[in-house]
Amino acid sequence: MDPALADVLQRYDRFAREEAPGRSARYAEWAAGLAADPETAAILAPLPAPHRQPPVVFAVTRMLGAPADYGAWAAFVRAHAERIVAECAARTTQTNEPLRCAPLAFALARIPGPVALLEVGASAGLCLFPDRYAYRFVEPGGGTRLLGSGPVVLTSELRGGLAAPERIPEIVWRAGIDPQPRDARREEDRAWIEGLVWPGEDERARRIAGALDIAAADPPEIVAADASEEGVIASLAARAPADATLVVTTPGVLPHLPRPARERLISQIRDLGARWITIDHPRLHDAWTAPIDADAWPGFVLALDGTPVAATDPLGGWIAPA
């Protein structure tokens, strides 16, 4: 079997078994169907790996009007193969989940303000507004702690007796870098960001729609570039106010970079002398200040300057002690 086709079948099988259950019954059905359908999967095999990921392919087919039933969906893919491949080739996963600002708030609370915030992989910039959201931290036993104010309320579960942050520093400058920036004011870009929400994630859809409104009202500067290329992040960082603490965030973006680019980017961030907040799988890189037992670590690592601050759900749904 062609290696690319084998990779597609394995990727969609894993998605159907490990990622979609509990989040989207439709995506679980589509992924399981495709994993057992080499004819349809072969249409996706020529695409580079980042462009044939299930969230990208599924969002593209929904955007183009694919029906919900797997059999009809597969027939739609075969009938519109050229258009679907072209759209997937021009797009990548841009999760842009504002709920990640809940764990980011834990790290930001450790940094004196004012802050100049620079996000790598910013997409539409929804994670550049941690000071514009309200937070509802749910404690064990059902109690809640509230932080901040705003039209979008981010709810995250606190585990293991973890205390909620007391403050978010003042953010006086915000900017981002993304190979394909999205503008929350543009209907097409907004539709793509909203289309990446999986069917059945109604609360998430409302959260992202509200966050897009916040970004549209005060659009951050987002540079179209590969942040790992020499000089890109340094050039943007140089525009930050000199009297603010520069904080670079990489929430969820590093897995999408090839290893050499990932290592190059981390090195460049450290060369800036900035504070660095990231949310990563414990096995993703070795840039931690001390070794992490990935087998025992619950979830992803929220780290400040490479030092773990907490364990967290990749999208920010829960936070636990490090």
**Dihedral sign for Cα atoms in the order 11, 17, 18, 22:** positive
Cβ-based neighbour number of residue 93 at 10 Å:
17
Q: What's the DSSP call for residue 75?
A: H
Rounded distance, CA 2 to CA 46, Å? 10
Crossing angle (nearest 10°) for helices 25-35 and 3-14: 150
Per-residue confidence in pLDDT tens, the chain, 322 aa = 789 999 999 999 999 999 999 989 999 999 999 999 999 999 999 999 889 999 999 999 999 999 999 999 999 999 999 999 999 999 888 778 999 999 999 999 999 989 999 999 999 999 999 999 999 999 887 789 999 999 999 999 999 989 999 999 899 999 999 999 999 999 999 999 999 999 999 999 999 999 999 999 999 999 999 999 999 999 999 999 999 999 999 998 998 888 999 999 999 999 999 999 999 999 999 999 988 998 889 999 999 999 999 999 999 999 999 8
Q: Tokens 């636990």 appear where? A: 320
Express each pLDDT in 227-238 by its tens digit: 999 999 999 999
- Dihedral pair phi/psi, residue 142, rounded to 5°: 100, -5
List the one residue out of 308, 305, 304 whose CA is nearest residue 296: 308
